[in-house]
Amino acid sequence: MSNNGIVAGAVVDGYGRIHRALRLSVTDRCNLRCRYCMPAEGLGWIPGDDVLSDDECVRLVAILARAGVTEVRITGGEPLIRPGLAELVARLRAIIEIGEISLTTNGVLLADQIDDLVAAGLDRVNVSVDSLDPERYAAITRRRDLERALDGLAACERHAQLRPIKVNAVALRGVSEHDVLPLAELARQRPYVVRFIEVMPLDAPRSWTPELVLSGEELREMIGSRWPLEPMRRERPSAPATHWRFADGAGEVQFVAPVTEPFCAACDRLRLTADGQLRTCLFAEWETDLRTPLRAGAPDDVLERAVRDAVLRKEAGHGMSDPAWTYRGRPMSMIGG
């Protein structure tokens, strides 16, 4: 460790943030059509030949692991659409520097795959469920798959090593108010931590406006008026969510508020898209192409240098507090959440 507290060899940006977490997107395709993400007809998917193979994913993760990354979250699109995902998890688990592998999924295909994923080395899972009401769920996702998503959650309960099981719920003003208390009650009844997430300007139709944001503060007030909440310490300094428990001890909820309560100063995350582009911020409008040099035969040290150079360019924050801020980059499904 150096005199300034930075671990030798770590991937560090110009603001001293050490990067330990990777969001690895394995596909941009999805079996839902959530209104805050993509249009009803879907998107023009990334061509199959442009998507990283398992071998390419493993090699890039291994390079990042040697540079200090210790956590991998597998995302999409919907990652369970990718064939052979358990085999990829097993190969990532074999990278000795990786301490935790987690998965973000809509849960629709989870019940049939969770046993194999856990056996392969999956440590944690986040399941996206924006409403417990079948009609509102269908209105948000444009699919009638709530029962399958809940079955996936229930299947996770068979595996004690997955605790805590997390439920992600995106909150939209004018849509989600009726869902907040039922979802909070789910955290009181089941072994789930429900995470309420502010809607972000990452939708493909570009219909997001600040007025759609149901803020973390408002959500806490709505829940706290029914069941008083007590703040807890963040799970770790770089965690995106604030952590709260019910005062009566019945469970826990979290709030991810990137719009109204940004957490950029402690960000330790990198993102690798399904087509091999490295992103240093979810809202970055530039990417670093790793797929092209990888397929051209670049050695590991050249690829690692490309990563380090990209991280040095990382901005201090996303800049949404600026009234003139806009986002023109790729939508969430093409980035990986």
Identify the pLDDT of residue 7: 46
What was the pLDDT predicted at 86?
Answer: 98
CA distance 89 to 121: 6
Maximum Cα interatomic distance, the chain, rounded to a whole number of Å = 59
The mean per-residue pLDDT over the stretch 192-200 comes to 94
Does position 1 have pLDDT exceeding 50, yes or no? Answer: no
**Where is pLDDT greater, at 33 or 236?**
33
Please answer whether residues 137 and 131 qualify as being in contact, where contact means their C-beta atoms are separated by less than 8 angstroms: yes
Domains, the chain: 21-335 (3.20.20.70)
The average confidence (pLDDT) of the chain is 93
Give the pTM: 0.93
Tell me the residue length of the chain. 337
- Residue-wise pLDDT for 132-179, tens only, equals 999 999 999 999 999 999 999 999 999 999 999 999 999 999 999 999
Please return the burial class of 117, using the count of CB atoms within 10 Å of its CB with bins 0-12, 13-18 and 19+.
buried
Q: Stretch 233-253: mean pLDDT, rounded?
A: 91
**At a CB cut-off of 8 Å and minimum separation 6, what does 192 contact?**
153, 164, 165, 166, 167, 186, 251
Does residue 253 contact residue 223 with C-beta atoms inside 8 Å? Answer: yes
Bridge partner list, 22: 72, 270
- The angle, 0 to 180 degrees and rounded to 10, between the axes of the packed helices 146-156 and 134-141 is 100
pLDDT digits (tens, 9 = 90+) for 292-306: 999 999 999 999 999
Least confident residue range of 1-5, 84-88, 120-124, 176-180: 1-5
Q: For residue 184, what pLDDT is reported?
A: 98
